[in-house]
Amino acid sequence: MNNGRFGIWLVGAWGGVATTVATGLAALQNGLSERVGLVSELPKYAQLDLADWKCFVLGGHEIRKTSYLAEARNLLDSSRVFSADLLAKAAPTLEAFDKNVRTGTLINVGSTIESFATPATLKTRGEPPRAALGRIAADLKEFRGTHNLDHVIVVNVASTEPPAEGDAAGLPWSELSRLLDQQDRSPVPASTLYAVAAMKSGCSYINFTPSVGSNLPALQELAAETGSLHMGRDGKTGETLLKSALAPMFAARNLQVKSWVGHNIFGNMDGKVLDDPVNKENKVRSKDRLLAEILGYKPQTLVTIEYIESMGDWKTAWDHIHFSGFLGTPMVMQFTWQGCDSLLAAPLVLDLVRFCEREHRRGKTGLMTHLCSFFKSPMGTDIHDFSRQVALLDAWAEEIAARP
Amino acid sequence: MNNGRFGIWLVGAWGGVATTVATGLAALQNGLSERVGLVSELPKYAQLDLADWKCFVLGGHEIRKTSYLAEARNLLDSSRVFSADLLAKAAPTLEAFDKNVRTGTLINVGSTIESFATPATLKTRGEPPRAALGRIAADLKEFRGTHNLDHVIVVNVASTEPPAEGDAAGLPWSELSRLLDQQDRSPVPASTLYAVAAMKSGCSYINFTPSVGSNLPALQELAAETGSLHMGRDGKTGETLLKSALAPMFAARNLQVKSWVGHNIFGNMDGKVLDDPVNKENKVRSKDRLLAEILGYKPQTLVTIEYIESMGDWKTAWDHIHFSGFLGTPMVMQFTWQGCDSLLAAPLVLDLVRFCEREHRRGKTGLMTHLCSFFKSPMGTDIHDFSRQVALLDAWAEEIAARP
Amino acid sequence: MNNGRFGIWLVGAWGGVATTVATGLAALQNGLSERVGLVSELPKYAQLDLADWKCFVLGGHEIRKTSYLAEARNLLDSSRVFSADLLAKAAPTLEAFDKNVRTGTLINVGSTIESFATPATLKTRGEPPRAALGRIAADLKEFRGTHNLDHVIVVNVASTEPPAEGDAAGLPWSELSRLLDQQDRSPVPASTLYAVAAMKSGCSYINFTPSVGSNLPALQELAAETGSLHMGRDGKTGETLLKSALAPMFAARNLQVKSWVGHNIFGNMDGKVLDDPVNKENKVRSKDRLLAEILGYKPQTLVTIEYIESMGDWKTAWDHIHFSGFLGTPMVMQFTWQGCDSLLAAPLVLDLVRFCEREHRRGKTGLMTHLCSFFKSPMGTDIHDFSRQVALLDAWAEEIAARP
Amino acid sequence: MNNGRFGIWLVGAWGGVATTVATGLAALQNGLSERVGLVSELPKYAQLDLADWKCFVLGGHEIRKTSYLAEARNLLDSSRVFSADLLAKAAPTLEAFDKNVRTGTLINVGSTIESFATPATLKTRGEPPRAALGRIAADLKEFRGTHNLDHVIVVNVASTEPPAEGDAAGLPWSELSRLLDQQDRSPVPASTLYAVAAMKSGCSYINFTPSVGSNLPALQELAAETGSLHMGRDGKTGETLLKSALAPMFAARNLQVKSWVGHNIFGNMDGKVLDDPVNKENKVRSKDRLLAEILGYKPQTLVTIEYIESMGDWKTAWDHIHFSGFLGTPMVMQFTWQGCDSLLAAPLVLDLVRFCEREHRRGKTGLMTHLCSFFKSPMGTDIHDFSRQVALLDAWAEEIAARP
Pairwise CA distance, residues C244 & D402, whole Å: 30
Catalogue the E-assigned strands of B189-269: 204-207, 229-232, 256-266
**pLDDT score, position A310:** 93
Are A84 and D80 an interchain contact pair (Cβ–Cβ within 8 Å)?
no
- CA neighbor of A310 nearest in space, from C323, B330, D33: C323
Q: Which of B86-95, B174-183, B253-262, D343-352 has the lowest mean pLDDT?
A: B174-183
Which of A174-183, B1-10, B54-63, C157-166 shows the highest mean pLDDT?
B54-63
Contacts with C, A 314-373, CB within 8 Å:
316, 318, 320, 322, 330, 332, 334, 336, 338
Q: In sequence order, what are the residues at sequence separation of 6 or more whose Cβ sits closer than 8 angstroms to the Cβ of residue B302? A: B259, B260, B261, B262, D265, D306, D308
Could you tell me whether strands B366-367 and B229-232 are parallel, antiparallel, or unpaired per DSSP bridges? parallel
Share of chain D above pLDDT 90, in %: 81
Share the mean pLDDT of chain D.
93
Is residue A386 scored above 80 in pLDDT?
yes
Pairwise CA distance, residues A311 & A304, whole Å: 16
Are B327 and A33 an interchain contact pair (Cβ–Cβ within 8 Å)?
yes
Q: In sequence order, what are the residues at sequence separation of 6 or more whose Cβ sits closer than 8 angstroms to the Cβ of residue D6? A: D51, D55, D56, D57, D149, D150, D151, D152, D153, D353, D357
Are A80 and D85 an interchain contact pair (Cβ–Cβ within 8 Å)?
no
* Minimal Cβ distance to B310: which of D258, D265, D310: D258
Q: Does C163 touch chain D (CB under 8 A)?
A: no
Is residue A125 scored above 80 in pLDDT?
yes
Pairwise CA distance, residues C204 & C210, whole Å: 18
Residue of higher predicted confidence among D195 and B187: D195
**pLDDT score, position D30:** 96
* Minimal Cβ distance to C80: which of B77, B80, B336: B80
Share the mean pLDDT of chain B.
93
Is residue A142 scored above 80 in pLDDT?
yes
Which of A260-274, C111-125, C138-152, D303-317 shows the highest mean pLDDT?
C138-152
**pLDDT score, position B63:** 94
* Tens-digit pLDDT profile for residues D295-327: 999 999 998 889 999 999 999 999 999 999 999
pLDDT, mean of residues B294-306: 92
* Tens-digit pLDDT profile for residues D73-106: 999 999 999 999 999 999 999 999 999 999 999 8
Q: Confidence band (pLDDT; 50, 70, 90) for D279?
A: low
Q: Which of A387-396, C260-269, D138-147 has the lowest mean pLDDT?
A: C260-269
Helix or strand or coil: residue B151? strand
Q: Does D101 touch chain C (CB under 8 A)?
A: no
Share of chain C above pLDDT 70, in %: 95
Pairwise CA distance, residues D241 & D378, whole Å: 12
**pLDDT score, position A114:** 86
- Among A36, A77, A78, A80, the residue to mutate for chain D (most D Cβ within 10 A): A80
Residue B11 region, left (φ>0) first, then alpha (ψ -120 to 50), else beta? beta
**What is Dmax (Cα atoms) for chain D?**
68
On the CB side of A234, how many CA atoms lie within 13 Å of its CA?
26
Residue of higher predicted confidence among B275 and B204: B204
**pLDDT score, position B109:** 84
pLDDT, mean of residues C60-66: 96
- CA neighbor of D307 nearest in space, from D345, D337, D270, D262: D270
**Three-state secondary structure readout of A18-79:** HHHHHHHHHHHHCCCCCCCCCHHHCHHHHHHCCCCHHHEEEEEEECCCCCHHHHHHHHHHHH
Pairwise CA distance, residues D124 & D106, whole Å: 8
Q: Which of A123-137, A364-378, D315-329 has the lowest mean pLDDT?
A: A123-137
Q: Does C265 touch chain A (CB under 8 A)?
A: yes
Q: In sequence order, what are the residues at sequence separation of 6 or more whose Cβ sits closer than 8 angstroms to the Cβ of residue A40? A: A48, A50, A350, A351, A354, A355
Q: Confidence band (pLDDT; 50, 70, 90) for C269?
A: confident
- Among B78, B246, B327, the residue to mutate for chain A (most A Cβ within 10 A): B327
Share of chain A above pLDDT 90, in %: 80
Buried-state track B207-238, b at ≥16 Cβ within 10 A, e below 16: bbbbbbbbbbebbbebbeebebbbbbbbbbbb
Is residue A280 scored above 90 in pLDDT?
no
Contact residues on chain C for A259, CB-CB shorter than 8 A: 265, 308-311
**pLDDT score, position A390:** 97
Q: Which helix (H) or strand (E) holds D237?
A: none
Are D256 and C328 an interchain contact pair (Cβ–Cβ within 8 Å)?
no
Is residue A81 scored above 80 in pLDDT?
yes
Q: Does A84 touch chain D (CB under 8 A)?
A: yes
* Minimal Cβ distance to C327: which of D33, D42, D335: D33
DSSP string computed for C154-193: EEE-SPPPPPPSS-GGG--HHHHHHHTT--SS-S--HHHH
Share of chain C above pLDDT 90, in %: 80
Contact status, residue A232 vs residue A372, Cβ threshold 8 Å: no
Q: Which chains does D contact via 3+ CB–CB distances below 8 A?
A: A, B, C
Q: Confidence band (pLDDT; 50, 70, 90) for C112?
A: confident
Pairwise CA distance, residues C270 & C20, whole Å: 14
Residue in chain D lying closest to C385 (CA):
D387
Helix or strand or coil: residue A276? coil
Q: Confidence band (pLDDT; 50, 70, 90) for A335?
A: very high
Is residue C288 scored above 90 in pLDDT?
no
Amino acid (1-letter code) at residue B26: A
Is residue A332 scored above 90 in pLDDT?
yes
Share of chain A above pLDDT 70, in %: 95
Are C328 and D36 an interchain contact pair (Cβ–Cβ within 8 Å)?
yes
**pLDDT score, position A38:** 97
Q: Which of A35-49, B108-122, D376-390 has the lowest mean pLDDT?
A: B108-122
* Tens-digit pLDDT profile for residues C3-52: 899 999 999 999 999 999 999 999 999 999 999 999 999 999 999 999 99
**pLDDT score, position C110:** 83
Is residue C59 scored above 90 in pLDDT?
yes
Contact status, residue B153 vs residue B147, Cβ threshold 8 Å: no
Angle at C46 between CA C43 and CA C50, to 5 degrees: 135
**pLDDT score, position B286:** 63
pLDDT, mean of residues C214-226: 96
**pLDDT score, position C170:** 86
Are D84 and A85 an interchain contact pair (Cβ–Cβ within 8 Å)?
yes
This prediction's pTM: 0.95
ipTM of the complex model: 0.95
Is residue D71 scored above 80 in pLDDT?
yes
Contact status, residue C186 vs residue C179, Cβ threshold 8 Å: yes
Is residue C275 scored above 80 in pLDDT?
no
Q: Does D84 touch chain A (CB under 8 A)?
A: yes
**pLDDT score, position A12:** 96
- The minimum CA-CA distance between C283 and chain A, rounded to whole Å, is 19
Is residue C239 scored above 70 in pLDDT?
yes
Q: Confidence band (pLDDT; 50, 70, 90) for C181?
A: confident
- Among A83, A311, A336, the residue to mutate for chain D (most D Cβ within 10 A): A83
Contact residues on chain D for C333, CB-CB shorter than 8 A: 242, 335-339
pLDDT, mean of residues A226-254: 96
Share of chain B above pLDDT 70, in %: 95
* Tens-digit pLDDT profile for residues D332-358: 999 999 999 999 999 999 999 999 999
Is residue C224 scored above 90 in pLDDT?
yes
On the CB side of D264, how many CA atoms lie within 13 Å of its CA?
26
Residue of higher predicted confidence among B165 and D106: D106
**pLDDT score, position A126:** 83
Residue in chain C lying closest to A265 (CA):
C261
Are D245 and C248 an interchain contact pair (Cβ–Cβ within 8 Å)?
yes
Q: Confidence band (pLDDT; 50, 70, 90) for A404?
A: low
Which residue intervals of A234-276 are DSSP H helices? Answer: 239-252, 269-274
